[in-house]
Structure 1
Amino acid sequence: MLYLGSHDSMSYDLDINSSIIEPDILKHIGLRSVHKIILVLQEVNIIQQLDAGVRFLDLRIARKKDDSDPTRVYFYHGLYTVTDSVLKDINGWAVAHPTEILILALSHFENFDNSLHDGLISSIKKIFGRKLPQQKLTLKRCWDDKTNVMVTYGDRAEVQKHPELWSNITYYYGDTMDPEVLKNKVYEDLTNATTDCKLNLCSGFCLHLFYIPELSVQQAHKRRLNIVASDFVTQDNFVSTIIQLNTI
């Protein structure tokens, strides 16, 4: 089964007046120039992504160092987002679509400490409640128990403390703008993968639609679940392409 995902899911919401989080090289260029360089990788909001067919959300978390509220956290992609949370919106969508299984991948946690992890995880449990599965999954069990939101968490220590959280998903990243180099790099990484993660992610910063079927079909024969994430998920028939791969 192939899951459709969005890479840097919150990048449609970047705050052009925020400070730069990463990479470090951009911090020396200046804000005005950086805003022209940083790509908005998604053009539609989270609910529109879910409505389009996205079921995996790549949510990168950070705290603003100078925030007046020390407990508030944001999403980011180079810059902080304007919105500090969309989790309640996601929960509302999950309530309205109880047979759709969502995977929320929370990661990075820039400028975090233990108290921020505690606060964020507490919020996750409060918002999603009984929708968070704590045992081996089957689709029927998720439907029967109404546990249709899986949260993977990119901090191993926190996952070990909280049975509601799942281990981080391995992210295969091409790290190139050349389509041919990207295809070869992702192909090599996936062929040699030995990870024991519960889920596996096939993706790249600029994973071109032309190569998605080849990479995805190859992995579909090796893994019980794969996730193909992309930039601009509502463009170029990306959604229909991934859905059609599930019929092969």
Structure 2
Amino acid sequence: MSKRLTVEFIFIGFETTMSAKKDKRKVASHCDWMSQLPPKLHNIPLYDLAIPGSHDSMSYDLDINSSIIEPDRLQRLSKIYCVRKIVRKWAITQETITKQLDAGVRYFDLRIARKARDHDPTRLYFCHGLYTHTDVETVLKVIRDWAERHPKEILILALSHFKGFDKANSAQLHRHLIGFIVTLFGAKLIHIRDVPTLRSCWDKGRNVIISYDYPTTQHGEIWSKIPYFYGDTMNTTKIEAKLQHILEKARPVRFGDNFFVCGLNLTLPEDARTLQYILRPCDNLANVIRRGLPRLLQWTKRQAAKTPVNIVASDLVTCDDFIQTVIELNALKSTRA
């Protein structure tokens, strides 16, 4: 047996013997925090505001009975239940989309996928390691209903990945999904020709931005991909260093006059190093993130005093003081406005 297979069998044979304690602290509701910002901030571009965002927003809904989408090296082990169980354990982070909205999240990382051999040719799901239980159209309707109840809260939906969109069906699936979005949100969609501010969005009755990571020129309501910067590591010190370099030195094209995301999320290694995390009997990704998030939030506050900060995204957005901390960054912007 090869060393690689030996490692994989160690991986799939592991099961947790104890469950981690749940964080029972209540998270404050910020259902309408945008409408409560100081008037000075009502007329500045939205990409000059500090906006809480969620990374892998649908990770709470993963279906343990689905096939494994990623990592690639485990796809052939999809039929083994304990493998799917471990993938799910280390992929679940967020709470429901409604809880995220109520808590104050305004940017959503929505990763789209189509199941192979689905008898419905246009039915789509979300993914993060596994497929979700709930299909895309159902979740988007929930978001639309929430947006109608909170017309002064601006939502940014970033659609990406599009797993299972192959050459034979890609064009049809994109047409169907974009058509559904345009019909569903209708007059609530903010046009790409606009420089959106809170005031301009409120005056026009528009409060949804769709960011779509696939070229489309047919619809003025569909925005291009929003840059997402992250550390690609589990080490919080390295995450801080990489984001600081981007914000202070790299200065991406159009940085400062368009949306951009600073991702505080931790990322598991894609090689054998991941075993040092997944083989911990009483641990999971949510707990690791919970331990590192306070430090990352302190860094974010220090960094925001030096450079522009727009969307700040994390896993476990309803945990601790993440949302409150990001919203409070707007106090700095208010004094500068």
User: Quick check: TM above 0.5?
Assistant: yes
1:148 aligns with 2:207: yes
Give the Å deviation of 1:28: 4.4
The CA deviation at 1:94 is: 0.4
Q: Aligned match of 1:208 in 288, 293, 300?
A: 293
Q: Which residue of 2 aligns with 1:109?
A: 162
2:254 maps to 1:196: yes
| 1:118 and 2:175 are equivalent in the alignment | yes
How much has 1:212 moved relative to structure 2? 2.7
Take 1:185 and 1:222, find their aligned partners in 2: how far apart are those partners? 14
Matched-pair contact (CA < 8 Å) for 2:265–2:313:
no
Alignment-mate amino acid for residue 14 of structure 1: L
> How far has the Cα of 1:220 moved from its partner?
6.7
Aligned: 1:138 with 2:209: no
Q: Distance in 2 between matches of 1:20 and 1:146?
A: 41
Q: Which runs of 5+ in 1 are unaligned?
A: none
- Kept in 1, the 8 Å contact 2:240–2:299? The answer is no
Q: What's the CA shift for 1:137?
A: 1.6
* Residue 139 (structure 2) pairs with residue 80 (structure 1): no
1:99 aligns with 2:152: yes
Structure 1 or 2: more strand by fraction: 1
* Higher-Rg member (1/2): 2
| CA gap 1:179/1:222 in 2 versus in 1, 3 angstroms | closer
Query: Could you tell me which residue of structure 1 aligns to residue 316 of structure 2?
Result: 232
For the aligned residue pairs, the C-alpha RMSD in angstroms reads 1.8
TM-score (norm 2): 0.68
Gap regions ≥5 residues in structure 2? 1-48, 267-291, 333-337
TM-score, normalised by the number of residues in structure 1: 0.92
1:16 counterpart residue number: 64
Say whether residues 1:7 and 2:55 are aligned partners: yes
- Where does residue 69 of structure 1 map in the other structure? 120
Q: Does 1:40 align with 2:92?
A: yes
SS of residue paired to 1:150: strand
1:202 corresponds to which letter in structure 2? C
User: CA contact under 8 A between 1:41 and 1:232: conserved in structure 2?
Assistant: yes
Question: How much has 1:20 moved relative to structure 2?
Answer: 1.2
Aligned pair count reads 244
Contact 2:61 2:132 (8 Å CA) reproduced: yes
